[in-house]
Amino acid sequence: MPQTNIMALNKHANPVIAAVMFIFMFSYAAAYDPLDPNGNITIKWDVISWTPDGYVAVVTMTNFQMYRHIMSPGWTLGWVWAKKEVIWSMVGAQATEQGDCSKFTSSIPHCCKRNPTIVDLLPGVPYNQQIANCCKGGVVSSWGQDPSAAVSSFQVSVGRSGTSNKTVKLPKNFTLTGPGPGYTCSQAKIVPSTVFMSPDGRRKTHAWMTWNVTCTYSQLLVSQYPKCCVSFSSFYNSTITPCPTCACGCQDKTTCVE
C-alpha cells in the first residue's frame, strides 16, 4: 500500500479508535467505584418451599461494599416478573403499590403489579410481620463497618408461577436505589442452592433453588447528565468563574456557562 494511503487511513482511523475507547471507558466507569473496585450488593433468592401455584422465597440483600452504606430512608428494590406472577404475601417488607387485582375475587394478592417496588418495613412492626435481618427502614451498614448489620432480608410468597426448578421463570430487570447514588444490577443467575445450618449445628438443609443478582455502584445513575464543577480562568483573565457556575448537565439554566 502506498505511504500516502497508509497515512490517510491512520488519519481517519485514529478518531474512530479514540471514540471507541472513550465509549468503553465511559461505560466501564458507569458501574465502577475506584475506592472499592470489588464491592457490590448481592441479592440472593432462596426458594424454601413450593406452593400449589408458586413458591415461597427468602430474599437476602448483603452489602459487600467496604465503605458505602445505605442510609435512611433506605433501599428500594424492583424487578419485572417473567410471566404473570403475583405476590400473595410478604414478611419483613412490602410492595409500595398493590396494583390492579380486580381479577381476584376471593383471596386478594398483596401485589399484582408486573413490576413491583419493594421497601423494607420500619422498626417496631408486629412480631408476626418480622423475619431475621428485616425491618430496619432499609438502612444497611457497609461490610467494612459492621458485617452483622450489612444484611437485609424479607420473605415473599409468589403465585401464578412455576412450581418446580424446571418451570420457575426468574424475575428480570432488577433495580436497586437508595438515598444516594444508584446501582446497576445484573440479570438473575441460578447458583448452587444455599445450605442452611440448624441452630444446634447438627443438621444441614438446602434451599430448593437459589439465584443471585449482583448490583454495583453506578455514578451515572444519579442523574441523566453528569454534574461537574469547573472554574474557568487564565493568566490574562482578571476574573475567575466560580464553581457555583454550572458547566455541564445544566442546559436552559441561568447559571449555565455557554
pLDDT at 109: 98
> Which set of grid coordinates corresponds to residue 14?
485514529
Beta bridge partners of 56: 49, 157
Confidence grade of residue 34 (pLDDT, cut at 50, 70, 90)? confident
Q: For the purposes of burial, counting CB atoms within 10 Å of the CB of 195, is it exposed (0-12), middle (13-18) or buried (19 or more)?
A: exposed
Question: What average pLDDT does range 63-75 have in this prediction?
Answer: 93
Q: How large is the greatest C-alpha to C-alpha distance in the chain, in angstroms?
A: 82
Q: Name the CA dihedral angle for 33, 36, 38, 44, rounded to a multiple of 10 degrees.
A: -90
pLDDT for residue 30 is more than 50: no
Alpha carbon distance, N-terminus to C-terminus of the chain: 45
User: pLDDT of 17-27, one tens digit each?
Assistant: 444 344 434 44
Q: For the purposes of burial, counting CB atoms within 10 Å of the CB of 223, is it exposed (0-12), middle (13-18) or buried (19 or more)?
A: exposed
Question: What average pLDDT does range 73-90 have in this prediction?
Answer: 98
Q: Average per-residue pLDDT in the chain? A: 82
pLDDT for residue 145 is more than 60: yes
Question: What average pLDDT does range 36-56 have in this prediction?
Answer: 95
Percent of the chain with pLDDT over 90: 65
| More confident position, 2 or 195 | 195
pLDDT for residue 207 is more than 80: yes
pLDDT at 182: 79
pLDDT at 115: 98
CA separation for the pair 52, 104 (Å, rounded): 16
Identify the CA nearest to 174 among candidates 59, 29, 67. Answer: 59
pLDDT at 203: 97
| More confident position, 6 or 35 | 35
User: pLDDT of 217-238, one tens digit each?
Assistant: 876 654 444 455 554 444 334 4
pLDDT at 191: 98
Of 13-17, 140-144, 200-204, the least confident? 13-17
pLDDT at 179: 81
- Which is it for strands 209-217 and 41-51: parallel, antiparallel or unpaired? antiparallel
The amino acid sitting at 21 is M
Question: Residues with Cβ < 8 Å from 258, sequence gap 6 or more?
Answer: none
